[in-house]
Every structure is written in structure tokens, then in C-alpha cells.
Structure 1
Amino acid sequence: MATPLTATRLLEALRAEGLTVHEVRSWRTHNRNSKGSWGPVNGVMIHHTATEGTDSSVDLCYDGRSDLPGPLCHGVIDKQGEVHLVGNGRANHAGLGDRDVLEAVVDERELPPDNAADTDGNRHFYGFECINLGDGKDPWPAEQRLAIEKVSAAICRAHEWSERSVIGHKEWQPGKVDPRGFTMDGLRDRIKGRLAKAPADVEGDRTDGDGGGRPLPPKPEYPPYEPFPGGGFFRSGERSAVIAAMGKRLADEGCGHYRGTPGPDWNEAHRKSYAAWQRKLGFSGKDADGVPGRVSWERLRVPNS
């Protein structure tokens, strides 16, 4: 769960990921907040417009239709890979979906089938419409696929989410087919690879077999520090050398709550030790709950394991 990004922070996050972003009309104050809550936000939802043409698609998503007022999303991703921001706040894009899917997104775990429509998705998801007819024949240019990846990664970075916080409309609401033309699992794999590096360190992209782009293979040498593995990594039953290395660093920083040498299994001692590290950095409340976030993790500098 997270507080929605401000308009300025959203714009900064997208541009920091290397995206070309256009601000459409009064997008910063354009929303449906008067009709319902906006937030806490839990993820990013990807759609296709079922339209063609940039100007007409952007205008439609800003203004909406007679039966569904705009904004119909937060941003439109065109065929050239450029982003057009049309709303900030609650938007009419997700509709009612499956509560079990929302819970899986919150927990950052594998999605269950979407077989119910009992939960307001407009409150919980950022929405991005990608210009495509959705007929299975309209192509997805490499620039557009890369932009979808970057947009998703940018918001995940800003909220310290993993790639599992990104879903398709078809994974949320029964009967929906969008986005059609690439797989969401393939997209999430590419987002995962992008999140493992800082935006400036992500290399060029190519087209892969499922119709999407992915970063080139990483350089053979290992980075000096472990990249943030995502908040969902730190849960009961997880065992990894990364966790042991984290524990040693926490002990070195004087934040250890261990009776012996930190082990590889995530447990309460690790959580208490990490909470002490978060407090040392000045975090409090939910930001010092002992579950690693991207900012505190990067400052800890856990050696590559």
C-alpha cells in the first residue's frame, strides 16, 4: 500500500526513467476524486485503447465518453513510445475486479484467476492506456513496448514495489482481453530486469519472442552490491544468502538483534534488526516496520552474494 504520487513526483519518476512525457491540458487537477477515494495505491494496470491515432486517443482518454467521464487513465502511451499524462487522481480505467487479485498484488505474489467483480480498482491502480486496436493484428512497435516497461518500472521504483505490482486489465476484471498482443508475464520479466539496475544503467533493448522488448544481457562482472530484490522477497519461508549478507551488514551498522551469526532464513530477528536500521536512517511508523524498502536497502549496501 502507498500514498499516491503527487503530479510533480509522478512526472519526475517517468522522466528519470528516460521517458518523453507530454502534459495534456489540466491533467494535474483532472480526476474523479469527487466520486470516490483515490488510494491507497497498490499497483499499475496496463490497457489497450482499441483506437488508433495519437491525438484522438489522447483526447478520448482525457475527456471520456458520454457514458464514462474522463479521465479514462492516468497516461496514454503512443506508438512512438511517448507518454501523454491526462489525469492525476482517481480515473475511470479499472472498474470492478477481483478482490483476490488485489490481495495478490498487495502481497506481490502470483495472481489467481480473476473470477469476480467485487472490488473498486479505480481506487487502487494507476492506469495506462496503450494505443493499439487490440485485434491481435495491430503491431506493437519496439518503442512502445519499451515505454510500457519503463512506465511500469518508474512507478514501481517510486513506491519500492516489485514487478508483481504490474498487472493487465485482463488479469483484473472478468471478460476483459486487454492488453492483447503481448504477455503480461513477459512484461513483468522485463520490468524485473530493469528494476535490478538504476535507470541510467539499463542498456539497450531488443524484441523477444512474445512481442516485447527486454534489456540486453547484463555485463559478466557482478555489481559490488546486491540490487533491491523487492519487498515481497522478505517473508516467512524465504531462504537466501542475500538475507545472511544483509544480517551481517546490519550487525556491522550496530543494528543487529541476533543471538549469533545471522542466518539465511528470514525471521523476526532479521525484521527487528532491519527496523533498527530504518530508524537509524530517520524513518518511523510504517516506514520502519522492518521490511526492507528500496531506499533503505540501497543505503545499507549489502555485498553481492
Structure 2
Amino acid sequence: MATIPWLVDVLRGAGVQVVVEGDWLNRMRPGSFNPIGVLWHHTAATSSASNPHPALNICINGRSDLPGPLCQALVDYHGVFHVISAGRCNHAGVSGGSGPIPAGDGNTLMIGWEIDYNGVSQQMTAAQYNASVAATAAVLKRLGRDASHARGHRETSTTGKIDPSFIDLNSMRADVAARMAGGGTAWSATVDNTTAGRFTASANWGVSTYSGQRYGTNYRYANPVAASDAAWYKFNVPATATYRVEAWWPANAGYNSSTPYVVATTTGNRTVYVDQRVNGGQWRVLGTFTLPAGDANRVGVSRWSGAAGYVIADAVRLTRV
């Protein structure tokens, strides 16, 4: 059986903060392990600043139905990599094949990161994302593979896995490729309508779970009126720079065909109109804008539309470019 005793050194060399969990060099499952890629997961546990790695014990020791270790490393709320194993782990199951990863035994084919967030009402923190990108780039370089060998469990699973939730995996691979080419990890942050302290809307905005295309557990809706009454998304922008602004909405034939998204830029508010009857359930680019540094409302969904149908506010993502 092959092992990866170089893992800790490679991660630290990439600037990733590492905690070694016990006898990681000898903690592994029986069977072959010859990895050609890296697989991202979420744990389904709710992490926080005060409880940053709630799933660590189960990732080390496993469950009654699945013996541990369950990953090579767990990524906690603060982006710290807890290295658990240098060998084969029960994290991937059967691979149905994805990109250059063939069908077969996923536990043989891939190194697994379990990123500790619940994936339903909680998304990955920026610290988790940035550390995971840096770690993935470094490990793939060590394996002699390119960024296409970074996959999400939902891409390889044959049993309908959804992890890692709330992550655009093509964007992830682009960030890994940039890191491998010598660039830094792009800053990116997502605010959902349920993100605590980051979304505000008046009582005129209702809550709905009607569409399966929603981002997260629900979304907000309101009738169009001749007044802004915007729902606002607040971001802590790290530096005055150019950012790609993307929005996610569930599409429906009865929704608004001219929904105004307001972006607060360094030169004032810019408005982009989108047709929410189509292109739902995915990230859609509103444009690139120069945004000022600081923590403030950056993107709003206005109700001021001359078109009929509900105006929808679901999720917004900013990425530095």
C-alpha cells in the first residue's frame, strides 16, 4: 500500500496551518491507495468560531456503519488542516468517474478533505475555502497532476451525494489552477438570504421554499413597486479592487423579467437588470466592478421594476479578479 508521508510538509510549505492528529502516519484503512486527485467534501456538522471542528472525532474514529479514518484531513472553521491519515481512508466510496478521475475505487484514487460545515444552512468560510485551494494546489503539484484532478464528492458519487454544498466546482478548479501557476488564491465570499448579519430586507419581503432551484434553505420574494425597498447583501471587502459579482436565483415563469440588482461601486451605484424567469439554480455573472474596501452593503435587489412577477432575492457572491 502506498502512503503520503509527505502530506504535512507539503501543506506547511504551501502556507497552510496544520495540526497533526495523533499517529497519522499509521492510521489508515486496509487496501490499495495510489491517489491521482483530491476530493472535497463537507461534514454536515455545524462549525463555528467557538466550535471549529465538531466532526473531528468522527472523521478520526468513524461511525458504527463506516470505520475511520474518514479523510486524510479535516479543515476546520478557521481554515486549519487537521491531518488524520497518510494512507487510505473511507471518504469517497465508489467513483462513477468525473473529469480525469476514472470510475472505480474512490478511496484508492483520491485524497479527501472533509471541510467542517453543515452544507444546508451553513456555507464554507472564506478561511476554509482559501486554505483548501492552497492545500489542493500543493498536493496536486506533488502528485504531478493538474487542477482538473480536483473534484467534489457530488461529481464522483454514485449514490447522490451533494457535497460540498454552495461551492462552484469549476470556479474552485480555476482558483486551484491559478494557485498552481504561481498566483494567489482569489478572495471570494458568498452571502445568502439566511446568512446571519449579512442580509437585510423589510417585512414586505416574504420567505419561500417553493423552488428546488434555491440556494440554501429558502429565498425571499416581493411584488414589484415604484420604490426601491431593496434587500441588501453585506460584504467585508478586503481591498479596493475589481470584483466579479454573481447572483443566484430560482427561476420561474411567473417571476420578474427585469429584476434590478444594485451594485455599490467606488463611483456610485450601478444597476443591472436580470430576467428571473430563466437561468435559475446557478451562479450568473452580473459584471465586474471596482468596489471599495470595508464592511458595508454592497449588492441590493430592488423592487423598483416595471415588469410583472415576483422579484427574488436569494444569494450573491463576490470574487476578486
Distance 2:53 2:176 in 1: 28
| Alpha-carbon displacement from aligned partner over 1:195-214 (angstroms, at most 9, x marks no partner) | 101xxxx4474225699xxx
1:26 Cα deviation after fit: 1.2
Assess, with a 3 A threshold, how the Cα gap between structure 1 residues 101 and 205 changes in structure 2: closer, same or farther.
Answer: closer
1:46 Cα deviation after fit: 0.4
Distance 1:58 1:74 in 2: 11
Assess, with a 3 A threshold, how the Cα gap between structure 1 residues 11 and 209 changes in structure 2: closer, same or farther.
Answer: same
**Structure 2 unaligned spans of 5+:** 193-238, 240-321
Q: Does 1:27 align with 2:43?
A: no
Distance 2:75 2:53 in 1: 12
Instruction: Say which of 181, 185, 189 aligns to 2:166.
Output: 181
Residue 169 of structure 1 is matched in structure 2 by 153
1:4 Cα deviation after fit: 5.0
Instruction: Say which of 33, 39, 42 aligns to 2:36.
Output: 42
Which has the larger share of helix? Answer: 1
Distance 2:140 2:84 in 1: 20
Distance 2:88 2:185 in 1: 34
| Residue type of the alignment partner of 2:125 | P
1:140 Cα deviation after fit: 2.1
| Alpha-carbon displacement from aligned partner over 1:112-138 (angstroms, at most 9, x marks no partner) | xxxxxx621111110110011010x30
TM-score normalized by the length of structure 2: 0.55
| Alpha-carbon displacement from aligned partner over 1:57-108 (angstroms, at most 9, x marks no partner) | 111100000110000000000110100011121100000121x437x237xx
Residue 98 of structure 2 is matched in structure 1 by 101
Distance 2:177 2:150 in 1: 10
1:55 Cα deviation after fit: 4.3
Give yes or no for contact 2:179–2:185 (8 Å, CA) kept in 1: no
Q: Does 1:151 align with 2:135?
A: yes
Distance 2:65 2:118 in 1: 21
Give yes or no for contact 2:117–2:124 (8 Å, CA) kept in 1: yes
Distance 1:171 1:204 in 2: 23
Residue 139 of structure 1 is matched in structure 2 by 123
Q: Which moved more, 1:87-96 or 1:118-127?
A: 118-127
The RMSD of aligned alpha carbons is 2.7
TM-score normalized by the length of structure 1: 0.58
Secondary structure (helix, strand or coil) at the match of 1:119 reads strand
Q: State the 4+ residue runs in structure 1 displaced beyond 6 angstroms.
A: none
1:14 Cα deviation after fit: 0.5
Residue 64 of structure 1 is matched in structure 2 by 62
Matched pairs, number: 191
Secondary structure (helix, strand or coil) at the match of 2:45 reads coil
Q: Percent identity?
A: 30
Distance 2:2 2:189 in 1: 33
Give yes or no for contact 1:23–1:84 (8 Å, CA) kept in 2: yes
1:148 Cα deviation after fit: 1.1
Distance 2:126 2:144 in 1: 26
**Structure 1 unaligned spans of 5+:** 107-117, 217-305
Secondary structure (helix, strand or coil) at the match of 1:27 reads coil
Distance 1:203 1:95 in 2: 32
Give yes or no for contact 2:76–2:116 (8 Å, CA) kept in 1: yes
Q: Does 1:194 align with 2:179?
A: yes
Secondary structure (helix, strand or coil) at the match of 1:123 reads helix
1:6 Cα deviation after fit: 3.0
Distance 1:97 1:154 in 2: 23
| Residue type of the alignment partner of 2:67 | P
Residue 127 of structure 1 is matched in structure 2 by 112
